[in-house]
Amino acid sequence: MIQKTFFRAEQTTKCRLTFTLPEHIWADSVYVVGDFNDWDVVALPMQQDAQGRWQATVEVVAGDAYQFRYLCDGDWINDNQADAYYANEYGGHNSVVLTDADPEPKP
């Protein structure tokens, strides 16, 4: 699950993305890796909450699409609730989160 919270910061709209994986993910370490952290495999570690869910939060500039994947004990996995999926250069797909601050079309 990806929760999006939009807010104003200085002269721009930002989006706080909270990534959550379910408690049935058994792992020693899980990281969120993507465009927003230059694909650094250790920059955004996920922590387990009291219910065992894995969570991490990052703030990004709103209005863009960000590609990402989870690195779970060395294995890449996608988010099954991502907004989209883009093909990557390794023959797989990256999850995509869209951060349009006004996702509803205008009438």
- Would you say residue 105 lies in a domain? no
How do residues 17-47 score in pLDDT, each as one tens digit? 999 999 999 999 999 999 999 999 999 999 9
CATH code where residue 57 lies: 2.60.40.10
- Would you say residue 42 lies in a domain? yes
Q: In this model, does residue 103 exceed pLDDT 80?
A: no
**Could you write out the DSSP letters of every residue in 75-105?**
EEE--TT-SEEEE-TTSSEEEEEE--S--SP
- Would you say residue 104 lies in a domain? no
Can you give the pLDDT at residue 80? 94
- Would you say residue 69 lies in a domain? yes
Q: N- to C-terminal Cα distance for the chain?
A: 29
Can you give the pLDDT at residue 9? 86
- Please give the tally of structural domains in the chain: 1
Closest Cα partner for 45 from 33, 27, 62? 33
Q: For the residues 59-66, what does the mean pLDDT come to?
A: 96
Closest Cα partner for 56 from 16, 14, 87, 90? 16
Which residue range forms the structural domain that includes residue 81?
2-98
Q: What percent of the chain has pLDDT over 90?
A: 88
Can you give the pLDDT at residue 105? 43
pLDDT class of 102 with cuts at 50, 70, 90: low
pTM: 0.90
- Would you say residue 107 lies in a domain? no
Q: For the residues 74-80, what does the mean pLDDT come to?
A: 96
- Would you say residue 103 lies in a domain? no
- Would you say residue 46 lies in a domain? yes
- Would you say residue 86 lies in a domain? yes
Higher pLDDT, 38 or 10: 38
